[in-house]
Amino acid sequence: MPEMNTSKVLNGKISNIQHFSIHDGPGVRTTVFFYGCPLRCKWCANPETWFDFEALKMAEASDCLAKEPLRPVLYTVDELVDQLMSQIIYFRNTDGGVTFSGGEATCQPVFLEAVASQLYERGIHMTIETCGVFDWRKLSKTMSMMDLIYYDLKHMSPQQHKIFCGRQNTVILENLIHLSQLGKELVVRLPFIHPVNDMPENIEAMADFIIKNEIKCSVELLPYHRFGEGKYEKLGLPKPSPCFKAPTTAILQKTINYFERRNITCFMDYSDGHPAAQMVK
């Protein structure tokens, strides 16, 4: 029996494909939002990626969802790669590429590896945005193909991480150490939310962890915003707590200064139109 061509039959569940993205890595990029996420962060901007696809279809059939859900689209590996390669002129002219986001792209490890392998062979710059909850044994090859890794570190306390994100952070910290040993460009992202994780003890614990484990990275602050709240209404879900706020400009600057004093590069994206810029103006 001839070997099956998985690139034509292996399906991935994609929430959205955003061309001409300029905030998810260098140059002009295409960002692919994967379906599925192992966390349930109470401030999530993309809650439509939470649901299991089959469970979602069953819920629709039984009217369990209060509003019209935001459904994923199925792509084969070849279909997705073809769509991404249609943008190659923009990638080449701007030193851009493809960013895997979500949801959580590592929730579909086989599909992700298959797509990444084809792009790697074509010399496309690849970035991944990850929450860090994945099996390193299944994702180490894929991560080694990435050029840039954005890594969320939402809280240093295991207990607080479970309260706000649905599970403890043990595997997240372990995988961060693994990734740092690949020698890739690594940006640790802190979704910065008052009163969740903007306290000095959390910032100090984060810096201590980076230094103790000799993690070569920069830190990017992502102040909280409410741009995704409309999705909660569409999904029939309660909106994030009104208590969640972006830290003050003074706290943001104080945090940047603290990381810099610890010899850790820390920054925000202040470009026009970016959420960070709108939070501090």
Considering the domain boundaries, does residue 270 fall inside one? yes
Considering the domain boundaries, does residue 206 fall inside one? yes
Give the number of domains in the chain.
1
Confidence of residue 279 (pLDDT cuts 50, 70, 90): very low
Specify the DSSP element, H or E, that contains 89.
helix 88-94
**Using DSSP, how many helices (H) and how many strands (E) does the chain show?**
12, 9
For the question of whether the overall pTM of this predicted structure is more than 0.85, the answer is yes
Confidence of residue 207 (pLDDT cuts 50, 70, 90): very high
Q: What is the pLDDT of residues 166-187, one digit of tens each?
A: 999 999 999 999 999 999 999 9
Name the percent of the chain lying above pLDDT 90. Answer: 77
Q: What is the pLDDT of residues 14-42, one digit of tens each?
A: 999 999 999 999 999 999 999 999 999 99
Considering the domain boundaries, does residue 114 fall inside one? yes
CATH code of the domain covering residue 85 = 3.20.20.70
Distance CA 99, CA 105 (A): 10
Q: What is the pLDDT of residues 121-153, one digit of tens each?
A: 999 999 999 999 999 999 999 999 999 999 999
Considering the domain boundaries, does residue 29 fall inside one? yes
Q: How far is CA 255 from CA 26, 70, 184, 195, 226, in A?
A: 24, 36, 25, 14, 22
Considering the domain boundaries, does residue 83 fall inside one? yes
Q: What is the pLDDT of residues 43-95, one digit of tens each?
A: 999 888 887 554 555 455 545 544 444 678 999 999 999 999 999 999 999 99
The per-residue pLDDT for 235 is 81
Distance CA 67, CA 78 (A): 33
Rounded mean pLDDT of the chain?
89
Domain of residue 92: give its range: 6-280
Confidence of residue 237 (pLDDT cuts 50, 70, 90): confident
Considering the domain boundaries, does residue 1 fall inside one? no
Distance CA 107, CA 200 (A): 32
Distance CA 218, CA 221 (A): 10
Distance CA 223, CA 199 (A): 14
Considering the domain boundaries, does residue 164 fall inside one? yes
Q: Average pLDDT in the 220-230 region?
A: 91
Confidence of residue 233 (pLDDT cuts 50, 70, 90): confident
